[in-house]
Chains A and B, each alone.
Chain A
Amino acid sequence: MKFGLALLAALVAAALLAPFLGTVDPAALSPVMRLRPPDGEFWFGTDPLGRDLYSRVLYGARVSLTVGFSVALASTSAGLAIGLVAGFYRTADAVLMRVMDGLMSIPPVLLAIALMALTRASMGNVILAITIAEVPRVTRLVRSVVLGLREQPFVEAARAAGTPGWRIVLRHILPNTVAPLIVQATYICASAIIIEAILSFLGAGMPPNVPSWGNIIAEGRNLFQVAAYIVIVPSIFLSITVLAVNLIGDGLRDAADPRLARQL
């Protein structure tokens, strides 16, 4: 958890402070200096258009982290609301869950590609497309947790004590969904970062003028044999980011469960 937090903090800092970390304009072309391997001047080398890979990777972190955090937040909020309603109010359950099942029958990457095909390439649309693809999973999780909780004796005791339905949801059900939801949110964050990279790699994600790790990898793909670093460097960053987020998720899960935390 600490290691994950440190990694992620470093990545966030690098993304935020990118303009002050010795970077140049990530879109600046300079054909003279194209395909320079990593050295003292260009730490990560340059791409076929002579753009500085170090700058592009740091600016790309902004895209990945923004998409990851936004999707995690948006899809857990939406999924939490829908899941609570579906789990606690049985009449809404059938309709909501059939819609979710329908969405879930489409692989998330494919669904995101289809949604992106309907709209313009932009960060907002990428976030929206991945969120829609991730919401059914959160909804299912929340609903199953709620269904388990509502049969718990402490919920029955609250009903027997005269607690109104909405207060049972807020005081007894909601707090007990937080722990599994936080874990799920981190996995969604990680998976959103990967899906964004996949979409951009396939040309269905971020617009090509925005440096994102997926775009960079896609551009370097044809030159893998002569300039492997163009693919390898952003891939390493992608892996480290996903690892850091997952480490944090595991740590948060332990911290959010008071019983488990005391044993550790």
Chain B
Amino acid sequence: MILEVEGLKQHFPIGGGRKVYAVDGVSFCVAQGETLGLVGESGCGKSTAGKAILRLLEPTAGRIRLRGKDITRLSAAEMRPHRRELQVVFQDPYSSLNPRMSAGAIVAEPLRNFGVFTEEKVASLFQRVGLRPEHMRRYPHEFSGGQRQRLGIARALALKPALIVADEPVSALDVSVQAQVINLLMDLQDEYRLSYLFIAHDLAVVQHISHRVAVMYLGKIVELADREALFARPQHPYTQALLAAVPEPAPRASPRAPILLKGELPSPMSPPAGCSFHTRCPHAFDRCKSEIPQLRQGSAGHWAACHLIER
């Protein structure tokens, strides 16, 4: 396993003894060459989970293992050698590149940090992500959104990492450019046996790129399964509602009934007691209000956290 996450919690104190439970006990693992899609609506904690795994945050509790090595409590200095294995691509191709550094310097930075910089390496990275080496002298504002995201990918790729946390890498791009960037990511995965933790809210994109998918709701994983199983037989009512909300490219004569969720996402400062989804769940019953459902395996490799499944 490249990455193992166990009971990861990331709470943010907001004064007055109150906390935001951004990530509240999340466990999953990513194998070599695998893409794990992490989906959920905004504010569910998926990006925070990504940053905690990258150790850009100090996790409140839990365990993060990178190639079997526990990195949860490493100091910034102890963490540095492990950063070669663990890279990131951010959502916003504008703010994720320093406007005052040339494209070449941006891609060269990780190489320089580890003393392995050569001009040729940067040039070949440019070529590998579909940019021309002449572009190295340009500044980020001279690139289009898709090209900037390619720069971000080249930077993440520079150190030949084992795992790339891709935090909504295509949601800021035009649909046609999205496809190009997704294809680039998939090609790179084949070439380097890369693993991705692919954070997204676009289910179509996740279905295309992921091997397995984890669905997050209010800081917890509510369902985790192989892509085929999750999209064909969603177990958790929240996953069912998410999938039902995806527009169909070719509407059938008898469209599926949409599952409309009531109400808003509850505040992560005071998550509901019991199952955190019970306030919006169409099937909620008494037990959901008091007891937190645990992730349980139904069929092989298909995990869901719902009391309905046990009945």
Q: Which residues of B167-209 have CB atoms within 8 Å of chain A's CB atoms?
A: none
Given contacts A153-B95, A160-B83, A172-B98, list 11 more A-B pairs with CB under 8 A: A156-B54, A156-B56, A156-B88, A158-B109, A160-B54, A161-B109, A163-B113, A176-B100, A258-B99, A258-B139, A259-B99
Q: Which residues of B lie under 8 Å from residue A171 when comparing CB positions? A: 98, 101, 109
Q: How many Å lie between the Cα of A163 and that of B56 in the bound state?
A: 12
Q: Which residues of A lie under 8 Å from residue B155 when comparing CB positions? A: 157, 161
Q: Which residues of B lie under 8 Å from residue A153 when comparing CB positions? A: 90-92, 95-96
How far does the Cβ of B186 sit from chain A's closest Cβ, in whole Å? 22
Q: Which residues of B lie under 8 Å from residue A172 when comparing CB positions? A: 98, 101
Do the beta carbons of B110 and A176 come within 8 Å of each other? no
> Interface digits, B93-113 against A, CB 8 Å rule (1 contact, 0 not)?
001111111000000011001
Do the beta carbons of A161 and B110 come within 8 Å of each other? yes
Indicate if A102 sits at the interface (CB-CB under 8 A): no
Q: Which residues of B57-98 have CB atoms within 8 Å of chain A's CB atoms?
A: 76, 80, 83-84, 86-88, 90-92, 95-98
How far does the Cβ of A127 sit from chain B's closest Cβ, in whole Å? 31
Do the beta carbons of B96 and A154 come within 8 Å of each other? yes
Q: Which residues of A lie under 8 Å from residue B90 when comparing CB positions? A: 153, 156-157
How far does the Cβ of B250 sit from chain A's closest Cβ, in whole Å? 37
Indicate if A19 sits at the interface (CB-CB under 8 A): no
Indicate if B114 sits at the interface (CB-CB under 8 A): yes
Contacting A162 at CB < 8 Å: which of B97, B100, B101, B113? B113
**Residue count of chain A within 8 Å CB distance of chain B:** 21
Contacting B114 at CB < 8 Å: which of A162, A176, A258? A162
Q: How many Å lie between the Cα of A63 and that of B158 in the bound state?
A: 55
Contacts from A to B (Cβ < 8 Å): 152-154, 156-165, 167, 171-172, 175-176, 258-259, 262
Do the beta carbons of B113 and A161 come within 8 Å of each other? yes
Q: How many Å lie between the Cα of A163 and that of B77 in the bound state?
A: 10
How far does the Cβ of A182 sit from chain B's closest Cβ, in whole Å? 13
Q: How many Å lie between the Cα of A127 and that of B86 in the bound state?
A: 51
Of B80, B86, B88, B109, the most chain A CB neighbours within 10 A belong to B109
Do the beta carbons of A165 and B51 come within 8 Å of each other? no
The 4 closest A-B pairs by CB, nearest first: A162-B83, A153-B96, A161-B110, A175-B100
Indicate if B40 sits at the interface (CB-CB under 8 A): no
Q: Which residues of B lie under 8 Å from residue A152 when comparing CB positions? A: 95-96
Of the A-B pairs whose beta carbons lie under 8 Å apart in the complex, a sample of 21, sorted by A's number, is A153-B90, A153-B92, A153-B95, A154-B98, A156-B90, A157-B88, A160-B83, A162-B83, A162-B110, A162-B159, A165-B76, A167-B113, A171-B98, A171-B101, A176-B98, A176-B99, A176-B100, A258-B139, A258-B141, A259-B99, A259-B141
Q: How many Å lie between the Cα of A161 and that of B92 in the bound state?
A: 17
Q: Which residues of A lie under 8 Å from residue B101 when comparing CB positions? A: 171-172, 175
How far does the Cβ of B155 sit from chain A's closest Cβ, in whole Å? 7
